[in-house]
Structure 1
Amino acid sequence: MRRPLLRATAISAVGALALSLALSLASVSPVAAEKRADFDTTSVRPASAPEVTSTDYPAGDRAHGSVGRAGEFTFSNNGVDAATAYHYSVNDASCSTKITLDEPGANATVTITPTRDGPNLIHARTTDAQGRSSACELVYVFTVAPLAEPVAYFPLNEGQGTTSTDVMDRSRTATALQDLEWTRGRVGARTGQSYRLEGTAAQVGGNSMLATDGPVVDTSGSFSVSAWVYLDELPTGNATALAQAGESGSGFQLGYQGGDAQSWAFAMASHDGDPATWTYADATTPVETEVWTHLLGIRDADSGEIALYVDGVERSRVEHADAWNAEGELLLGGGKHEGELTHQWPGAIDDVRIWDRQVFDEPLAGDREARSEVWKLANRPTALGGRWMLEETEGTIAADASDHGLDATLHADPLTAWNQAMNDVTFAPGVSLNVAEREHLITEGPAIRTDRSYSVAAWARLDEVDHDSVALAQGAFTLGYEHAPGGGNWVLKVASADGAGASEWHRSLSIHKARFGGWTHLAATYDHSLGQATLYVDGVAQGTVEISDALHTGGPVTIGGSWSEGGLSDPWSGDLGDVHLYQGVLSRHDINNVYEGLIPTSSP
């Protein structure tokens, strides 16, 4: 097989890594070979592939741009004046993407968005009017920098005052146009090595939106915008969480589309004026009030598409070719229409981020726990919803060690519940519960939303029983023991809607039988973005079950049983200790930290 011609000007600086990759691509798969059979490679074929240049991503081993940041690449005829089309591919030797020329031999400029860092290879070929083609060969090698940080990031953790600082550029602030209130946030500020649930968020509404002095991103190119949003009530019309203004209207709007749609939406206008044609990427999933929801809007300059993600799941992708650059202020809590600020957001906004590139929905690392940027934004950082260390020595109140302040009430004799249990793994005390007396602890309300991603954990020592026994529960999940003749298993049970108004329970069982009389660490995660729930026993993943339409019933946290319809079921027999509940998905490393009694430190 003829090897691709390697251009010295393109690869001399990139070293052995790019050369090795190029040679591996020279071996064409049967599928690629079949595709190549569609063109003529006779002796009168074009003599050479096109030449490629780029000022955004110059050739060589010096890194430019970023993964996800689009760049322009110009293809020229390289002496083939009869060229009518160029065909290229990035990081494979298929030459499958066609560029049809306006006239023979013309130059053509295309936008390419790199999807990996390090050396990237462009293969290309030239075809003429008779369909004759040059060989598909390596024509350009360029090096891409790793994923770029946001160009603007407003954590909104000030908690007071009328301004919020962009932590990526501290000279930039967003200033409230009227008085601004602050409320409990979804993503809190770091305290030591953990994130707080409390944090703060901007409570906007009326005319209390925030605005920067100028633009933060070019809306005519590729860009991404995201925020955690909270609706106090369903808007009667449109409501905008984020927008960037032009002279008359907004270049984009991320928020809620009213009218007949009544949906989450990412929208872009055809031009800055009225009337403008709007393109909507909107979700068909129901809009919920009084719950934090993560919204992410992406514009892909390569494809001319815009996309909307809700809680880490792509809900819509539509074509929008007529992008323009809105050169006005970034607006938090409203938008601009016919020259007026409008569409105020009736609720709270938290953790606003803007990128001058696409945010990726594919993992960029090869390990099994690698997750995409989109996933991380919707599921990290985890927020501590409640922690009961159960180290009390007297009384009937078990303190919540998180900043949620959701203390649990002990329904047991304090003299026998406290000062009796000692975890011989962590050497920390716990609570002893008498199953005959149906002893348990219970809070006044929920610590987490169970229809969003969450994680839970508890240390448990179970006496030998002949019935199901629950260590930890909140409405739509239970974590504990499922009895079976000959010995049962540890189990996670998660409820989802069955489509007929009732609940359907899904079970994830431990690989091995449960061990009576010894301390065991039980943990579980529900990944709302992937629709999966996983049980962990002593830090080791067990079974994973698929879940759709997970429920939130709003019930209390119950330690030592399951609470439903005003009564306790499946009471615990034995000891429990160090109970954790988080909003978001803990990693294996995080679960190991919780095992050791530490707070997880995963970040987005």
Structure 2
Amino acid sequence: MAAFALALAVSAGLSAPVAHAAAEPAPAPRVHSQQYPPSQPGGGVGVAGAFELDADYDVLKYVYSFTNDAGFLDKEVLADADGKATIRWTPRVSGQHEIFVAAVTREGYSQVPSYGFYVLAGGHPAAHWRLDGTLTDANGANALMPHGSPDLASTGYSGRGAALGDPQDHLSGPVLADTSKNFSLSAWVKVDDGSADRAVVATADGTAFSAGLYYDAAVGRWAFGMTTADRTAVRVAHSQALAETGVWTHLAGTYEVTTRTLSLYVDGVGQGQVTGVEGWQASQLLVGRHRWNGVEVGGAPGAVDEVKVYARTVNEAEVKKLAGQVGLRAHYRFNEGTGGGTQDEVTGAVAPLNGKTGWELDRDDTSLRFNGPDEAGQEQDGEAHVSGPAPGIRTDRSFSISAWARLDTATHEDKDRTVVSLVHNGTSLLDLRYGGTSKTWEFVVGGTTVETRYGVELQEWTYLTAVHDKANAEVRLYFSGVYVTKVPFTSGGSAETGAVVEFGRLSPSTAAGSFWKGGIDDVRVYAGVLSQEQILAQAVRT
């Protein structure tokens, strides 16, 4: 027991009381938690819990640690005159956890109790306003009130959004979270004009905002700020890089009451933290507006979409998932079966068929065929492609592309054959293709290549999905709905938003070898990161 007491002292960074080294340790202190009861599920990721400690003897302080802490018994909390103390803690991950606690007395260190508990997965947001033409939340309740003339039919990040172009345009409604405790705010925003402060989403009372995500024009950066309890000052975390205008950006701000820390995330990546902040309870939610000294400020952010309020702290993995939300930018079903063009179902634009491109009926599925036999039945291998309008994605941000492809060559050629490309000024920024050297499916973007490692089956339909996950700095390739491989992607990509989508060729096309030969069907282009579940759900031709 003496060695055990000494080990506790060393682990806690304390000096063991030498005079009592041989004494039996005191009984383990009692641990009680209403939010996280022993041996059963409770609370949830991002939900703060209190662990009450007491003992039947005089206690100076308690040393403690949790399962995922770096050290053992490396934290401490002072006991009050009755020998009691409270540990406040917020879990970052779900599953089985344990708290280890030892009481420190004048004689030494107590035994350590076994207190295990189970943390539930993070709950749904307290409210989620999709802003797809309606002002109620996802449950059909908690309607926001429009002010000014917001355009609720404008193009959003995903589907429709709220365009707030006039300084008077904003939305207001209930907060649905206690902002004096753990909470999180998130939204997609596209700021058109960076010459002035632009409010995105805030919680407030009649005098000031308590917390808010916004564009700070003074420094040209995104910000998450919280006001002090006396409403006289603002504590702010800024983005590391300058904010980009005219681009959909995901912002998230979290507050953790046990450490009194606010954190800002931009496009799923942590930016900055500010500690020592004491939150206070707001009474109103504002979208596109802040309030300071009773005055409305920070209007006309541009466009806002997918506003979420959580009554807990979302963790890093959850923020990445929020920032990876997909927004469909182009979808070509190729179901027309006749005529000289095919329609994008997202924009309604018609893309013309060029060269040796035509229609085919494969059982019940209509698709495009590139370089099929001519009217005399002779094989063709030349100019064949379809050019559609720009889907508005950038290769330096998260995006996903999926397509069905069938390669109809007689053998596995040494030539590259392009299924889908994104082209700007005659040069392809990305290329989903058959690789002539590897004889596999490949995806090339920004000089980085990822391949399936499986040989291409000729004359067979294959479902391909390529994903650039910016938050995780990688490019992934999926084959028939199943993840195959990934490679790091750090080259940055292109910030160009005007690149057009093309099917069946690589630009610049220097030879017929870059043209596709076979079928292409059901091409989709997304901003954001398709999940494995979403990809698998689309692995059936419809």
TM range (shorter): 0.7 to 0.9
Q: Give secondary structure in 2 for the equivalent of 1:207.
A: coil
Q: Match for residue 364 of structure 1?
A: none
Alpha-carbon distance in 2 for matches of 1:567, 1:332 = 53
TM-score scaled to structure 1, two decimals? 0.77
**Alignment check: 8 A CA contact 1:205 1:333 kept:** no
In the TM superposition, what is the alpha-carbon distance from 1:515 to its structure 2 partner? 4.0
The one-letter code matched in structure 1 to 2:31 is: V
Distance 1:158 1:596, change over 3 A: same
Which of these residues, 148, 152, 158, is aligned with residue 127 of structure 2? 152
Q: Give secondary structure in 2 for the equivalent of 1:595.
A: coil
Which of these residues, 269, 293, 299, is aligned with residue 227 of structure 2? 269
The one-letter code matched in structure 1 to 2:167 is: G
Q: Match for residue 491 of structure 1?
A: 442
The one-letter code matched in structure 2 to 1:47 is: A
Alpha-carbon distance in 1 for matches of 2:8, 2:523 = 55
1:191-202, aligned counterparts within 5 Å? Answer: 197-202=158-163
1:99-178, aligned counterparts within 5 Å? Answer: 99-101=76-78, 106-116=83-93, 120-128=97-105, 132-138=108-114, 140-142=115-117, 144-158=119-133, 164-167=135-138, 170=141, 172-178=142-148
TM-score scaled to structure 2, two decimals? 0.86
Distance 1:101 1:344, change over 3 A: same
The one-letter code matched in structure 2 to 1:73 is: F
Q: Match for residue 238 of structure 1?
A: 197
Alpha-carbon distance in 2 for matches of 1:37, 1:334 = 49
Which of these residues, 52, 60, 68, is aligned with residue 31 of structure 2? 52
Which of these residues, 368, 377, 400, is aligned with residue 430 of structure 1? 368
Alpha-carbon distance in 1 for matches of 2:68, 2:152 = 51
Root mean square deviation of aligned Cα: 3.2
Residue-pair matches, total: 518
Distance 1:146 1:202, change over 3 A: same
| Mean Cα deviation higher: 283-292 or 42-51 | 42-51
The one-letter code matched in structure 2 to 1:514 is: V
Which of these residues, 63, 66, 78, is aligned with residue 44 of structure 2? 66
Q: Give secondary structure in 2 for the equivalent of 1:184.
A: strand
Q: Match for residue 258 of structure 1?
A: 217
In the TM superposition, what is the alpha-carbon distance from 1:542 to its structure 2 partner? 3.3
1:75-94, aligned counterparts within 5 Å? Answer: 75-76=53-54, 78-81=55-58, 83-91=59-67
The one-letter code matched in structure 1 to 2:505 is: G
The one-letter code matched in structure 2 to 1:460 is: A
Distance 1:474 1:568, change over 3 A: farther
The one-letter code matched in structure 2 to 1:507 is: T
In the TM superposition, what is the alpha-carbon distance from 1:185 to its structure 2 partner? 4.3
1:15-414, aligned counterparts within 5 Å? Answer: 35=11, 40=16, 42-44=21-23, 47-58=26-37, 61=40, 63-76=41-54, 78-81=55-58, 83-91=59-67, 95-101=72-78, 106-116=83-93, 120-128=97-105, 132-138=108-114, 140-142=115-117, 144-158=119-133, 164-167=135-138, 170=141, 172-186=142-156, 197-212=158-173, 214-234=174-194, 236-259=195-218, 261-274=219-232, 276=233, 278-319=234-275, 321-361=276-316, 372-380=317-325, 382-400=326-344, 402-412=345-355
| Mean Cα deviation higher: 518-527 or 568-577 | 568-577
Q: Give secondary structure in 2 for the equivalent of 1:353.
A: strand
Q: Match for residue 385 of structure 2?
A: 440
**Alignment check: 8 A CA contact 1:526 1:532 kept:** yes
**Alignment check: 8 A CA contact 1:561 1:570 kept:** yes
Identity within the alignment, %:
27
Alpha-carbon distance in 1 for matches of 2:138, 2:434 = 47
The one-letter code matched in structure 1 to 2:51 is: F
Q: Give secondary structure in 1 for the equivalent of 2:485.
A: strand
Alpha-carbon distance in 2 for matches of 1:526, 1:593 = 19
Q: Match for residue 467 of structure 1?
A: 415
Alpha-carbon distance in 1 for matches of 2:319, 2:536 = 24
Gaps of 5+ in 2: 373-379, 424-428
Distance 1:302 1:455, change over 3 A: same
Distance 1:509 1:445, change over 3 A: same
Distance 1:535 1:119, change over 3 A: closer
Which of these residues, 477, 480, 491, is aligned with residue 430 of structure 2? 477
Distance 1:395 1:103, change over 3 A: closer
Q: Which whole-Å deviations, capped at 9, do the CAs of 1:60-117 have from their partners, x for residues lacking one?
A: 64x54333211222222x1231x22201223479752422426665432231123455
In the TM superposition, what is the alpha-carbon distance from 1:241 to its structure 2 partner? 0.5
In the TM superposition, what is the alpha-carbon distance from 1:347 to its structure 2 partner? 0.5
Distance 1:143 1:545, change over 3 A: closer
In the TM superposition, what is the alpha-carbon distance from 1:247 to its structure 2 partner? 4.3
The one-letter code matched in structure 2 to 1:74 is: E
**Alignment check: 8 A CA contact 2:73 2:100 kept:** no
Q: Which whole-Å deviations, capped at 9, do the CAs of 1:484-541 have from their partners, x for residues lacking one?
A: 2xx633210011xxxxxxxxx1001231343444433332111121111112233343
Matched, 1:577 2:533: no
Q: Match for residue 452 of structure 1?
A: 397
In the TM superposition, what is the alpha-carbon distance from 1:397 to its structure 2 partner? 0.7
Q: Which whole-Å deviations, capped at 9, do the CAs of 1:379-423 have from their partners, x for residues lacking one?
A: 23x3322222224333211122x332233211125xxx324x455
Alpha-carbon distance in 1 for matches of 2:278, 2:13 = 38
In the TM superposition, what is the alpha-carbon distance from 1:269 to its structure 2 partner? 1.7
Distance 1:318 1:153, change over 3 A: same
Alpha-carbon distance in 2 for matches of 1:37, 1:307 = 30
The one-letter code matched in structure 2 to 1:150 is: P
Q: Which whole-Å deviations, capped at 9, do the CAs of 1:469-491 have from their partners, x for residues lacking one?
A: 2110113211002222xx63321
Alpha-carbon distance in 1 for matches of 2:455, 2:248 = 38
In the TM superposition, what is the alpha-carbon distance from 1:551 to its structure 2 partner? 1.9
Q: Match for residue 8 of structure 1?
A: none
Q: Which whole-Å deviations, capped at 9, do the CAs of 1:147-195 have from their partners, x for residues lacking one?
A: 2222222221235xxxx2234582x3321232222243445xxxxxxxx
